[in-house]
Structure 1
Amino acid sequence: MASNRPAPEAPFVPSQRSSSDTFGYGGHPSDEGPWEEWNPTAESIAPVRGKHRVAKQRGGGGFARSSTVLGVGVIAAFSAGGMASANTGKPPVSISMPDLPSVGSLISDEDSGQDAGPALAGFGSEAPDATDPGGAADAGEALRNRIMAQAESQQTQVADRAQAAAEAAAAKAEAAAVAKAEKQAKAEAAAAKEKAEQAAKEKAEAARLAELAKQYTLPTSSYTLTATFGQAGAYWSSGYHTGLDFAAPTGTLIKAVHSGTITEAGWAGSYGYRTILTLDDGTELWFCHQSSISVSAGQKVSTGDVIGRVGATGNVTGAHLHLEVHPDGAANGIDPMAWLHSKGLNP
């Protein structure tokens, strides 16, 4: 900054007075020349047109005037800084002030035409942050990074939940498949067990029937089955057949099916000659239409003993053995074929 031109000074004339002279009013020290009267001229005091001249003051007066100008500038700077802070919403910042003794040098007589405002306009304004010139851009970038990080975190959480759900569904499906396989295996094991048990039962029953077959026998041989139980027809007074017919030549031997007691032997009307064998469990076996009887009532017989012969007595159309089975001596009989099967016999 250019300084104001210095004011002209009076010419200096060395003093002729000795050092012993006393300095008083109107006098001058012995080491200085005599003072001459200085009359300011128009050139020395007239300000330049359009410019503000500040005369350089000596001593305390100059400093006071400079301080006054500084005060006005500082107030203006503070006002500008406050308005800037209010307008921008930024917090106030510290203001650096120059040393007061040097403020006077900002304004001099040589450059009185320049405005002091630009020199003081910077007072009170917010100092830029030299360490962070891109602070606003960095703040925006940081906010963007936080938003992206949050979005990525949310996506990660969604992906984790989806993966957990998929894993749970897979585990559930696997558990269901395992449970289904276990259930199927149990069902197969149960079926195999049931089949094995059934086979064992059948085997046991076959063994039992084989053993019974040794104790039971068919009532005759060289026969032909001509009528079965329940068969309907006009030949029978009840309207259906009540026994099992073994057609065989007259005189064919009739044997005891099982051991028991003869409870009846003789004529029985439409049944012709009939023999009733009562087994130990109370079952009655009726042998009908015999040509002859070989046993009598009360007689004990064993399996295979001859009790009579095939004939055609009673209500018949030909020679045959009519066999009936009456459990516990009941009036109505059951199917002789099924009963013989239960004893291991196959007519």
Structure 2
Amino acid sequence: MVSNRPAPEAPFVPSQRSADTFVYGGARTDDEGPWEEWNPTAESVRPPRGKHRVAKQRGGGGFARSSTVLGVGVIAAVSAGGMASADTGKAPVSISLPDLPNVGSLISDDEPAEDTTPTLSSFGSVTTPYADDTAPQSAADAGEALRSRIMAQVESQQTQVETQAQLAAAEAAAKAEADAVAKAEKEAEAKATAAKEKAEAEAKEKAESARLAELATQYALPTSSYTITSTFGEAGAYWSSGYHTGLDFAAPTGTLIKAVHSGTITSAGWDGSYGYKTVLTLDDGTEIWYAHQSSISVSVGQKVATGDVIGRVGATGNVTGAHLHLEVHPGGSASGIDPGAWLRSKGLNP
């Protein structure tokens, strides 16, 4: 620790006059002029050369050069303390100090007193572990900040891309689900339509079957124990028109011929190539012709019911054998229709 010996106090000479008159360094004479208040300055308290004397100030109780003494105290405290450190979480900062001058060298007789308050530059070099790395550290911090910003932007863009992809996937899934629902609805509708059509067809078929069953009770085949030998529309030289105009039921002579439906006998007798022929007119105007009969059992104007006997099978007229020639003429028309189809429409199967 550096210490300096104290400066000797200035000698005090008692005044020859009043005790209230005080003169630095001696007594005041009357011819020195009127009394003025004395304010000590650096020049007025300058000690005699070589004696390093510090004048005592009235009522001050302190040092004349407070800033100089304060600087000396700071230097002494730093010198005594060695190295100052603070608990800042970082490595301590080392401070190197030069040899401290004594108080006498700070207060020189030859040079005017100046403010010698010590500054950080007077203590020598101050080194810190961060002084030389400030610029690189700042550049590194700036680079890290830029990198963090770029990475944040990349993450933001990636998040946006992922969000858009998720939205697109959700839209595609929703569209696929909507398409699937629409397809399922369409298939269900098609199935329902098919089922409805099938049900309608079945109902229609059932109704037709019922109708035919009912007609079967109202209609009957013209004969029994027969064989179909010629059908409607067959071509041949046996028929004057060049084709067959009816349906032939081959059966033994004398086989009963019946009314296919209820109606009225409108014709009964011989008719050339038809031989003995009977015409039955139904309630709807359809004419049923029975030809080649061996005998006739009814007369014109007679009402008959389904299944009533109207004659017998024979071989009269232009024939090659015993059979019943049956023709159907809707509305009494000259040209007939297929008797087989007409019988089937009535629930009969010739």
Normalised by the size of structure 2, how large is the TM-score?
0.61
Cα deviations by residue, 1:45-85 (Å, 9 ceiling, x for unpaired): xxxxxxxxxxxxxxxxxxxxxxxxxxxxxxxxxxxxxxxxx
C-alpha RMSD over aligned residues: 2.9
Match of 1:178 among 177, 181, 195: 181
* Partner residue in 2 for 1:233: 236
Distance apart, 1:214 and its partner CA: 0.9
Q: Matched residues, percent identical?
A: 77
Measure, in 1, the Cα distance between the counterparts of 2:131 and 2:301. Answer: 139
Structure 1 residue 338 and structure 2 residue 337: aligned?
Answer: no
* Partner residue in 2 for 1:248: 251
Change in 2 beyond 3 A, CA 1:20/1:183: closer
SS at the partner of 2:218? coil
Distance apart, 1:151 and its partner CA: 1.3
Measure, in 2, the Cα distance between the counterparts of 1:157 and 1:277. Answer: 93
Aligned length: 232
* Partner residue in 2 for 1:122: none
SS at the partner of 1:323? strand
Distance apart, 1:189 and its partner CA: 1.5
SS at the partner of 2:228? strand
Look up the equivalent residue of 1:221 and give its one-letter code.
S
Change in 2 beyond 3 A, CA 1:19/1:311: closer
* Partner residue in 1 for 2:127: none
Distance apart, 1:129 and its partner CA: 9.9
Change in 2 beyond 3 A, CA 1:252/1:21: closer
SS at the partner of 1:254? strand
Change in 2 beyond 3 A, CA 1:247/1:20: closer
Measure, in 1, the Cα distance between the counterparts of 2:275 and 2:348. Answer: 26
Match of 2:287 among 259, 284, 289: 284
Pairing 1:246-325 to 2, within 5 Å after superposition: 246-325=249-328
Distance apart, 1:20 and its partner CA: 6.4
Measure, in 1, the Cα distance between the counterparts of 2:27 and 2:216. Answer: 182
Measure, in 2, the Cα distance between the counterparts of 1:170 and 1:293. Answer: 84
Measure, in 1, the Cα distance between the counterparts of 2:275 and 2:140. Answer: 130
Match of 1:150 among 149, 153, 168: 153
Measure, in 2, the Cα distance between the counterparts of 1:18 and 1:171. Answer: 115
Change in 2 beyond 3 A, CA 1:137/1:256: same
Measure, in 1, the Cα distance between the counterparts of 2:317 and 2:198. Answer: 50
Distance apart, 1:139 and its partner CA: 2.5
Measure, in 2, the Cα distance between the counterparts of 1:172 and 1:160. Answer: 18
Distance apart, 1:140 and its partner CA: 2.6
Measure, in 1, the Cα distance between the counterparts of 2:202 and 2:314. Answer: 44
SS at the partner of 2:180? helix
* Partner residue in 2 for 1:191: 194
Measure, in 1, the Cα distance between the counterparts of 2:253 and 2:309. Answer: 15
Cα deviations by residue, 1:152-206 (Å, 9 ceiling, x for unpaired): 1011101110111111111111211121111111111211111111111111111
SS at the partner of 1:341? helix
Distance apart, 1:282 and its partner CA: 0.6
Measure, in 2, the Cα distance between the counterparts of 1:174 and 1:199. Answer: 36
SS at the partner of 1:291? strand
Pairing 1:1-347 to 2, within 5 Å after superposition: 134-347=137-350
Measure, in 1, the Cα distance between the counterparts of 2:172 and 2:28. Answer: 118
**5+ long unaligned stretches in structure 2:** 1-25, 33-46, 49-106, 112-120, 122-129
Distance apart, 1:273 and its partner CA: 1.0
Measure, in 1, the Cα distance between the counterparts of 2:27 and 2:181. Answer: 132
* Partner residue in 2 for 1:114: none
SS at the partner of 1:214? helix
Normalised by the size of structure 1, how large is the TM-score?
0.62
